[in-house]
Each structure stands twice: as structure tokens, then as C-alpha cells.
Amino acid sequence: MTYQNPVFIPGPTNMPEVLRRAVDMPTMDHRSAAFAEILQPALAGVKQVLRTETGEVFLFPSTGTGGWETAISNTLNAGDTVLAARNGMFSHKWIDMCRRHGLNVVQVDVPWGEGIPAARFEEILTGDRSHEIKAVLATHNETATGVVSDIAAVRAAMDAAAHPALLLVDGVSSIGSMDFQMDAWGVDVAVTGSQKGFMLPAGLAIVGFSQKALEMVEAAALPRTYFDIRDMRGAYPSSGFPYTPPVGLINGLKVASEMLLAEGLAAVFARHARIAEGVRRGVAAWGMTLCARRPELYSNSVSAILTPEGFDANALVAHAASRYGVAYGAGLGDVAGKLFRIGHLGMLSEAQALLGLAVAEMAMADMGLAVPMGAGVAAAQAFYRSEG
């Protein structure tokens, strides 16, 4: 497989050359004053991307999964109850993590392709009169199914139930690519990673805590050492780190935040929406449908494309990689083999999206699918031209 072609997996994403260079730096003494010039702007930049004035940001050498563990281990106790919807592979994995930590999970099973059922959450929270539920877990963008959920509606449901639970949100494949408003949506812990909207290599868990969540940290008794935000919080004022930091990645995060803010978050979100819509027009021209069941659920960072019954979509992904050197996302969990995914987040242009559609058409034709060659590309071209 060639490394010259862009990837169309929903993360890790393609990296701009400026970020490759930002990460590739000489060894630095992370206890020197020079580290402060990297760490403090990175923290400040992420706060702006999260759209929070009062929250605090913490960076861990890890991935989004480590961010999930940071969220629960710093706010909850063994035996606590959490509410979560299982509507995709990543919500499933976060639920599994909670159970492994000794938490009780009120699990709402949702068909994969649907979003978080805010109305059902309101019913459950209203019925929880003794406030046994300590946190609501929400996956903003379910990467396995290409479904985005309405986090503002989840918060509204919590408020309507007058419930004091924390709102913990997985924004791994949405933050930096789609609108995310930590303060306005009342998010208490926001989790993301370096390898998605920030266009960096995997290696950083990026977590934002609200003041309400910070008030829970001392009382939380789940085991934590590496992911203890108290150590981070104590070290940051003097630009320290409780253990050896990945200086290059943090420098990349500083530059990535500067890039996103210089483009303007509204422009970043509009760019992702435009590229995603072109891909969706292409999928429709193939005569195929998305896993996401309604337009309001369509993700602007990944499209999960259903293939005909009995067709092995994972074999299609493997063929595209071996024959054309282009990577697409395979189906995961309940949808394994039933769909393939085109990631369109991070550093991606309209021209690159057209390449992704064109190679997908060739691979599907090779595998015997009756896809009209050029139809998806033409549909996307027409949309991109009209939006130019």
C-alpha cells in the first residue's frame, strides 16, 4: 500500500505538512522555560476550540480511550450509576469501560443508525427521584455509524428533569470538525484526541472539565494515578507536567489550534459540511444509502455507507487498500461487513474527496457491485461547483 495517497478513514486523519514539521522537533528539556511557550498556548487554544470560558483543559499522553477513563475515574465512585445509549461501537466501548470500573450502567439500546434518544433520557432521569444516576454519557459523533447526536437536546432533557447528573461527552470525532459548544451545551467533561479534528498523530487524550466536574474530583474514589487530573492541575501553573510529556505532540497541538482558530471555527465547520455533502451526493448517485437514518443525523466527519445484503463490505475495504493503495474505514461491531466508511474530516479538500469517491467506484466495480462508474464523482463535482 502506498503512503502517497490520502487516507479516508475517520481518523487518524491526513496531516498538513506544517503540523508534521511542528511535531518533528529536537529533544527539549520539558522542565525548561521553553516548554511553557508550548504548553500554555496549547491549553489556551484547545479551550477556544472547545468553546469554553470557564472550563479547564488537560492533556494526557494517550488517545480518546484514555480520555474516557479520565472522565469517569476523576468524577465517579465504584457502584455509581450512569446513563448511556448504545448506538454504535464507540458508545458500546465506553459502556464496557464503565462496567469494568465497577459502575452500574442504565443502558438504552438504540438501533445503530439512530442518535441518542433525548426524550427517553428525560423519562429515565425524571423517574430517578433519588438521583442515583450520577452521570449521563453521550457520544456526540458515533464514528462507527456516521451518526451525530444532539448534545444540546440531551442537556435540555437533563434540565427538564431537574437532574443534577454530570454530562460527559465523547467528542473524539467531532471536536475541531463540527460545531461543539462546551459551555452553551452544559457539557461537564468533553473528551477528544489529537488524531481527528486536530490533524495530528495519535498520542494525546484531550479533556475539558467544567467547574462542576472539577468539584467532584476530590470525592471521586475510582482508582487513578496516570489519569489523575489533580496532578496535571497542580503542575500546569508552573508549566510543569507530572511525568514526561510528548513535547512534539503538544507543540503540534499548539500549532493545530492556531490553524483552526485562524481559519475561523465557523469556516472550519462549513468546510467539513460542504465536503461531507458532496460525498453524500455521490453515495446517493450510486443508489446507496447511509447507516444514519435521517438527514439531521448525518455526520460531517464520516459517512457510513450500507452495501447490499450479503455483500462483504470489509472485503471491499481490503480490496481498495491492496489494489489501489487507498484506505477506507471498515464496519465495526454490529455493522461489521455491512458497510464501509469514508472519513472526511481534518485536512481534506474537495479534490481529495473526489479522489476518494473515484477509487471507491473502481473498487466496487471490481467487486461486482452495479455502481455506475463516474456517477458519484459527477454528483459531487456538480455540488462542489455550485457551492464554489
d(CA 128, CA 191): 26
pLDDT reported for residue 97: 98
d(CA 316, CA 340): 8
Q: Which domains does the chain have, with CATH numbers?
A: 17-262 (3.40.640.10), 265-387 (3.90.1150.10)
Mean per-residue pLDDT over the chain, rounded: 97
Q: Identify the sign of the CA torsion 283, 285, 288, 291.
A: positive
pLDDT tier for residue 2 given thresholds of 50, 70 and 90: low
What is the pTM assigned to this prediction?
A: 0.96
d(CA 245, CA 242): 8
Q: Identify the sign of the CA torsion 225, 228, 230, 236.
A: positive
pLDDT reported for residue 388: 64
Per-residue pLDDT, averaged over 114-140, amounts to: 98
Q: Is the pLDDT of residue 3 over 90?
A: no
What type of residue is 101? Answer: H
pLDDT tier for residue 108 given thresholds of 50, 70 and 90: very high
Which of 207, 242, 212, 231 has its CA nearest to residue 43?
A: 207
Q: Cα-Cα-Cα-Cα dihedral of 132, 135, 136, 142, to 10°?
A: -140
Lookup: cell for 180: 461543539
pLDDT tens digits for 288-316? 999 999 999 999 999 999 999 999 999 99
pLDDT reported for residue 387: 74
pLDDT reported for residue 102: 97
Which of 249, 341, 374 has its CA nearest to residue 9?
A: 341
pLDDT tens digits for 46-96? 999 999 999 999 999 999 999 999 999 999 999 999 999 999 999 999 999
pLDDT reported for residue 4: 84
Per-residue pLDDT, averaged over 28-52, amounts to: 95
Neighbours of 91 (CB within 10 A): 28
d(CA 138, CA 182): 13
* ω into 61 cis (within 30 of 0): no
Place of cell 472539565: 209
d(CA 364, CA 319): 9
d(CA 196, CA 16): 12
pLDDT reported for residue 137: 98
Neighbouring C-alpha atoms within 13 Å toward the C-beta of 325: 6
